[in-house]
């Protein structure tokens, strides 16, 4: 069994991080499966509504990543320092807080879902579809937050394969119920929402049951008092992942507003297909980053700088190879993936294929800032991590999507992501060089 304290070769690093990569890919499959069934069995308007409201619905779920990444790094570092009892208390307290946060955020979301959808521009049937879908999804929000959190904490606990099994179970639940509810029972968008909500309960509650008692992992629940300082440190350290996910949702809503102006509902539908591929491909980068983070945190806590240098070097090589493979794959998959989702509408199909060919260049660059942000989170440097995420997912994206379309119209919207990722990769490189003497990874 691979331990955090081990020396990591390329092979061992890939074996340890692969479960988290697959785990994040399966999580991304939720949206892809919903999109496929809704588009083909409920129609273009329902499909547009799904993609229109999804960025807003993802925002409260981001709390799970904040608790998982920020807390996972703190727990792993505490374990590396040899303070196991303290690590268990931090783990137990953070899970309890995340459940409470999920309940509060779900209640708030149910109240504001309609005015938010209307303010973003949804009208008529599209507005009603957004509201009905959103209400069902929000009912499962506490479990959704737990699912994201445990995806990170399973790795910290030394059980990435178990985390993968839970995620696969949740993903398969979503696939089967989508086929049953949407294609079989013809429940349309509400059926897709119900399938996703039930699968999120699987992904959130099963880990909760596992950690309730002593187990073969390094973590289990113990009695723990509320610790405001630890919670603040966790939130600060995980703020980059929180900012990254919230920013992507905000930018997604801005893209939808721009697309309504330049291309109508067809533009939103095309963008939705792009986001499915983007979610899966970025899940590879994010999954690797989540998987390697506890190792980095552990060796940073143990002051093992030689291993830290090796981990960074190997990670950059793997990211470069993955980026080239994803770019080539996206270019080749442009037509078949477009046909799967929107093959029933020729004009929409042509728009989606062109969007693919432009947007795919972003995959050459996006992995580096994703990893860079996670790398500094693992070093418990939440401020630098948050800076990378803030610039990449919000500042650069907003600046690009507001200005580039003025020059190139609809093509400028698809190219905005490429420009933003290039700038983010450059900033990441500068910060890695600047901080090298602080953390001794070069």
Show pLDDT as tens, one digit a residue, over the chain (442 residues). Answer: 677 778 889 999 999 898 888 878 877 776 688 888 998 898 888 888 888 898 899 889 889 989 998 898 899 889 988 899 999 999 999 999 999 999 999 999 999 999 999 998 888 888 999 999 999 999 999 999 999 899 889 988 988 888 889 988 998 899 999 999 999 999 999 999 999 999 999 999 999 999 988 888 889 999 988 999 999 989 888 877 677 778 778 888 888 889 888 888 788 888 888 888 788 888 899 889 988 988 998 888 888 889 899 999 999 999 999 999 999 998 888 888 888 888 888 888 899 999 989 999 999 999 999 999 999 988 988 889 889 988 998 899 999 999 999 999 999 999 999 999 999 999 999 999 999 888 888 7
Q: With the C-alpha atoms ordered 10, 11, 12, 17, is the resulting torsion angle positive or negative?
A: positive
Residues 6+ positions from 236 with CB-CB distance below 8 Å: 70, 382, 383
Among residues 269, 295, 405, 403, which one has the least CA distance to residue 349?
Answer: 269
Reading the block at residue 316, the tokens are 């950059």
Q: Cα(175)–Cα(202) distance, rounded to whole angstroms? A: 13
* 179 vs 171: CA distance, rounded Å: 13
CB 106 within 8 A of CB 24: no
What dihedral angle (degrees, nearest 10) is formed by the CA atoms of 29, 276, 102, 168?
10
131 contact partners, CB below 8 Å, separation of at least 6: 113, 114, 117
Please give the backbone phi and psi of residue 230, each rounded to the nearest 5 degrees, phi first: -65, -40
DSSP code at position 104: H
Contacts of residue 416, defined as CB under 8 A and 6 or more positions apart, other chains included, come to 255, 397, 400, 401, 404, 405
pLDDT number for residue 277: 79
- Which residue do the tokens 């080539």 mark? 328
What's the pLDDT score for residue 73? 85
- The pLDDT value given to residue 415: 95
The DSSP-derived string for 161-218 is HHHHHHHHHHHHHHHHHHIIIIIIS--HHHHHHHHHHHHHHHHHHHHHHHHTS--SSS
CA distance 326 to 180: 32
Cβ atoms within 10 Å, residue 101: 18
State pTM to two decimals: 0.75
How far is the C-alpha of 300 from the C-alpha of 4, rounded, in Å? 11
Q: How far apart are CA 70 and CA 94, in angstroms?
A: 10
pLDDT value, residue 30: 67
Chain centroid to CA 198: how far? 19
| Closest C-alpha among 20, 14, 28 to residue 281 | 28
Q: What is the distance between the alpha carbons of residues 399 and 331, in angstroms, rounded to a whole number? A: 26
What torsion do the CA atoms of 173, 179, 182, 186 make, to the nearest 10 degrees? Answer: -130
pLDDT reported for residue 346: 85
Rounded distance between C-alpha atoms, residue 162 and residue 20, angstroms: 10
Q: Where is 386: in which H helix or E strand?
A: helix 382-390
């Amino acid at each position: 069994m691979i331990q955090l304290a081990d020396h990591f070769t390329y092979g061992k690093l890939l074996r340890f991080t692969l479960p988290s990569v697959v785990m994040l890919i399966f999580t991304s499959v939720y949206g892809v499966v919903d999109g496929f069934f809704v588009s083909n069995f409920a129609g273009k308007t329902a499909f547009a509504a799904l993609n229109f409201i999804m960025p807003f619905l993802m925002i409260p779920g981001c709390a799970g990543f904040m608790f998982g990444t920020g807390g996972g790094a703190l727990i792993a570092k505490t374990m590396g320092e040899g303070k196991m009892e303290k690590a268990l208390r931090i783990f137990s307290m953070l899970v309890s807080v995340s459940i409470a946060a999920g309940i509060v955020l779900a209640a708030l979301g149910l109240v504001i879902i309609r005015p938010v959808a209307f303010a973003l521009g949804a009208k008529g049937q599209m507005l009603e579809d957004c509201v009905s879908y959103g209400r069902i999804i929000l009912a499962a929000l506490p479990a959704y937050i737990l699912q994201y959190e445990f995806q990170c904490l399973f790795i910290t606990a030394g059980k990435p394969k178990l985390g993968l099994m839970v995620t696969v179970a949740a993903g398969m639940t979503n696939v089967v119920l989508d086929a049953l509810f949407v294609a079989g029972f013809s429940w349309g968008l509400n059926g897709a929402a119900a399938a996703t909500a039930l699968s999120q309960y699987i992904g959130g509650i099963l880990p909760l049951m596992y950690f309730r008692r002593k187990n073969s992992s390094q973590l289990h629940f113990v009695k723990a008092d509320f610790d405001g300082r630890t919670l603040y440190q966790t939130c600060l350290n995980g703020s980059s992942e929180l900012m990254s996910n919230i920013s992507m949702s905000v930018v997604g809503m801005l893209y939808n507003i721009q697309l309504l102006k330049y291309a109508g509902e067809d533009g939103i539908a095309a963008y939705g297909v792009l986001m499915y591929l983007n979610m899966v491909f970025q899940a590879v980068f994010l999954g690797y980053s989540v998987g390697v983070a506890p190792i980095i945190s552990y060796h940073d806590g143990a002051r093992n700088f030689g291993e830290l240098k090796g981990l960074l070097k190997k990670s950059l090589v793997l990211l470069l190879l993955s980026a080239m493979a994803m770019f080539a794959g996206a270019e080749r998959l442009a037509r078949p993936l477009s046909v799967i989702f929107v093959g029933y509408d020729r004009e929409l199909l042509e728009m989606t294929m062109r969007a693919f060919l432009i947007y795919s260049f972003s995959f050459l660059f996006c992995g580096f800032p994703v990893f860079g942000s996670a790398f500094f989170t693992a070093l418990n440097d939440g401020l630098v991590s948050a800076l990378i995420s803030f610039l990449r997912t919000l500042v650069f994206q907003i600046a690009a999507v507001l200005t580039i379309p003025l020059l190139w119209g609809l093509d400028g919207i698809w190219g905005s992501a490429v420009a933003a990722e290039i700038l983010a990769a450059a900033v990441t490189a500068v910060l890695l060089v600047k901080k090298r003497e602080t953390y001794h990874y070069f």
